[in-house]
């Protein structure tokens, strides 16, 4: 809740650089892992983008080390941000509960609720993409979940954030009444 005090242009630039270098490291680790694989000739990827989890499914033989590395990378590069988000929400909720007025609590929770729904949608579909590829061998289901992860979630972001607006909420209620 002390965002304006903590965030300054220097810290924002540092966070962007750290995020860029971590994502660069993650992509290079995936490239190194996939470059060690052997593939059959004339293979078609049943997906709309060349994801490491999909490439592991198309390899000539199963390499348990690659699956272990894939889950390790997912735990590190996915687990650390999730734990940071959970910790920050713990701090936010504990601060909100100390607000004396119920109107202030409602406003703070409605702001946090839209962000939390986007985070759950993004991480839920992301986990579906990366963890289901090792369990399920249905290319169609993998492609559908990937489309939700890469296309639907970013499109829903502005819509969900605009739901805090009272006019949007009233319009959505009217729309749902007409449908029902």
pLDDT digit string (tens) for 56-110? 666 666 667 666 777 777 777 778 888 888 898 888 888 888 888 888 777 777 7
Q: What is the pTM of this model?
A: 0.56
Q: Decide: residue 56, CB within 10 A, 0-12 exposed, 13-18 middle, 19+ buried.
A: buried
Q: Which pLDDT belongs to residue 34?
A: 75
Both structure tokens of 117: 């729904």
Would you place residue 166 in the very low, low, confident or very high pLDDT band (cuts 50, 70, 90)?
Answer: low
The 10 Å CB-count burial string (b at 16+, else e) for 44-53 is: eeebeeebbb
* CA–CA separation, 16 and 156 (whole Å): 23
Q: Which pLDDT belongs to residue 45?
A: 66
> Among 38-42, 88-92, 121-125, 130-134, where is mean pLDDT lowest?
130-134
């Amino acid at each position: 809740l002390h965002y304006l005090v903590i965030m300054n242009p220097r810290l924002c630039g540092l966070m962007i650089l750290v995020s860029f270098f971590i994502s660069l490291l993650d992509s290079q680790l995936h490239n190194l892992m996939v470059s060690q694989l052997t593939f059959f000739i004339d293979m078609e990827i049943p997906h709309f983008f060349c994801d490491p989890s999909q490439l592991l499914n198309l390899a000539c033989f199963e390499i348990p080390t690659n699956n272990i590395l894939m889950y390790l990378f997912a735990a590190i590069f996915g687990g650390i941000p999730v734990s940071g988000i959970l910790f920050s929400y713990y701090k936010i909720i504990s601060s909100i509960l100390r607000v004396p007025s119920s109107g202030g609590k409602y406003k703070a929770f409605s702001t946090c609720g839209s962000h939390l729904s986007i985070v759950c949608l993004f991480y839920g579909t992301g986990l579906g993409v990366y963890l289901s590829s090792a369990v399920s061998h249905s290319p169609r289901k993998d492609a559908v979940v990937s489309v939700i992860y890469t296309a639907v979630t970013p499109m829903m972001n502005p819509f969900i954030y605009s739901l805090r607006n009272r006019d949007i909420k009233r319009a959505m209620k009217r729309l749902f009444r007409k449908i029902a």
